[in-house]
A = this chain, B = another copy of it.
Amino acid sequence: MNTVPPATELPRALRERLAAIAGPGNLLTAPADCWPYGYDNSRRHALPQAVVFATDEDQVAALAQLCHDTGTVLTARGRGTGTSGATVPDHGGVVLSFERMDRILRIDPDNRLAVVQPGVTNGALQQALAASGFFWPPDPSSAATCTIGGNLAYNSAGPRAVKYGTPRDNTLGLRAVDGRGRVLRTGVKTTKGVVGYDLTRLLIGSEGTLGLITEATLRLTPLPETKRTLRVTYGDIHGAAAAVSAIMAQPITPCALEFMDARALEMVSRYAGLELPAGAGALLMIEVDGPEAGIEAALEAVAEAARAGEPIELRRANSAAEVAALWKTRKALSPALRHVAPKKINEDVVVPVSRMGAFIDGLDRLGREHAITIVNFGHAGNGNIHVNLLIDPDDPDEVARAATCLDAVFALVIGLDGTLSGEHGVGLEKRDFVDRELDPVALALMREIKQVFDPAGILNPDKGLPPVD
């Protein structure tokens, strides 16, 4: 783990004020207690000087005000499942954990909305919504553990985004605390509203650098009646890419359109013993949902489009057991990857759907040039590819080659009109690269917006945007 030197202890007066604001049982200051709040899923770690558990909005506002007045850095955190280091307190200071502010305040089916505290997990919310026949579309793979606040902070999506969008498309309004400790309300309780500037979407995806979300009004979607699953295997990535383009150009939008490349398939067949048709060079997992009445026709329309890529096999699941069997291929991938390379570099990039074939070809070339094994899978319907560089972190030569290779991967993405992150965010991991994508004027405006929301620079400083020279 990359660890910065342990932070110095907080001055006693500050600690006392923190304790008074946090309330009994809501403050940790002993390094051993604070330690687990210093990392996320990026393998980075930094020890905070204190951890406060958020209990209500007033407390969060008082805390932010204290940090503002004393110049103390404040890093918000859900459950630490992020992969970008955005919640790692690399400047020390206070970590504000939202895990105890986890209530679902209201579920309102008639108005298709739910009001929640930020610490509720995505999984717990989905479970509560299902009883009313609704769901909240964002579904990161960490849904069982990750919090809605974290989903909003990163604009995290998942497979369903291809049909149902990301948190920015599924949130009506927020309550938040800014960097001066002021409470604000954004957005509306309705599905339309054009009064004032859109601060809701500005806060979503800002990685805790503009405000601390204390409540969210989420837009709900009715649960579809039923779902069908296809697994389609192609000889190479170009077949799969042609199929994805054909699928996206016809009227039925699948609710999942996932893909795995040749090396990913090789990995699962070697380490999970899964059978795949001979010559499998790329695979699509496709799901279609909707009302029972039209589902067979919808599935057939998508299957027809998938045939545009001349598949070597097209299998459909006709039962829950068969659905599970088809998804086994995809689900076996992460354990297989961990087995081969416990310290893989997992990148999350996006290219336009029509450039996916060119992108995978480019990655193959870069892998050969830099002698790095690259395994790709992801959300093909959005062109959102998870690029995995398999490396041994104890081999300094390989680490150096991977860094050069990664640089070239980012250049390839930008060259193909893509973006450096689709859903994992920037945090610390990519902040040195984002100025390749962002316009200098846009970047200058973003820095000024940061200044507006957080004039003292206490909210998760130097995350998301490149550090100022």
Contact = CB atoms under 8 A, between A and B. Distances in A.
B195 A204 contact: no
Nearest to A426: B195
A9 to B, nearest CB: 34
Given A251-B133, A354-B111, A439 B184 contact: yes
A296 to B, nearest CB: 7
Tell me which of A189, A190, A419, A448 has the highest count of chain B C-beta atoms within 10 A of its own C-beta.
Answer: A190
A202 B205 contact: no
A452 B445 contact: yes
Contact of A445 (B155, B165, B199): B199
B194 A426 contact: yes
Contact of A419 (B111, B192, B382, B420): B192
B192 A161 contact: yes
Nearest to A161: B192
A201 interface: yes
Q: How many chain copies does the complex carry? A: 2
A315 B197 CA distance: 41
Contacts of A415: none
Interface string A336-370: 00000000000000111110000000000000000
B169 A111 contact: no
Contact of A193 (B198, B225, B419): B419
Contacts of A42: none
A157 B443 contact: no
Nearest to A193: B419
A150 to B, nearest CB: 13
A442 B294 contact: no
Nearest to A251: B222
Contacts of A201: 168, 198, 201-202
Interface stretch (A242-250, A276-284, A320-328): A242-250
Contact of A185 (B205, B223, B442, B449): B442
- Closest 9 pairs (CB-CB, A-B): A294-B294, A293-B297, A222-B251, A192-B422, A193-B419, A110-B354, A184-B441, A201-B201, A110-B245
24 contacts: A110-B352, A112-B353, A161-B191, A161-B192, A183-B439, A183-B441, A184-B441, A185-B442, A189-B352, A192-B383, A192-B419, A193-B422, A195-B420, A196-B426, A197-B205, A197-B210, A222-B253, A223-B251, A290-B290, A293-B294, A293-B298, A294-B295, A294-B298, A445-B453
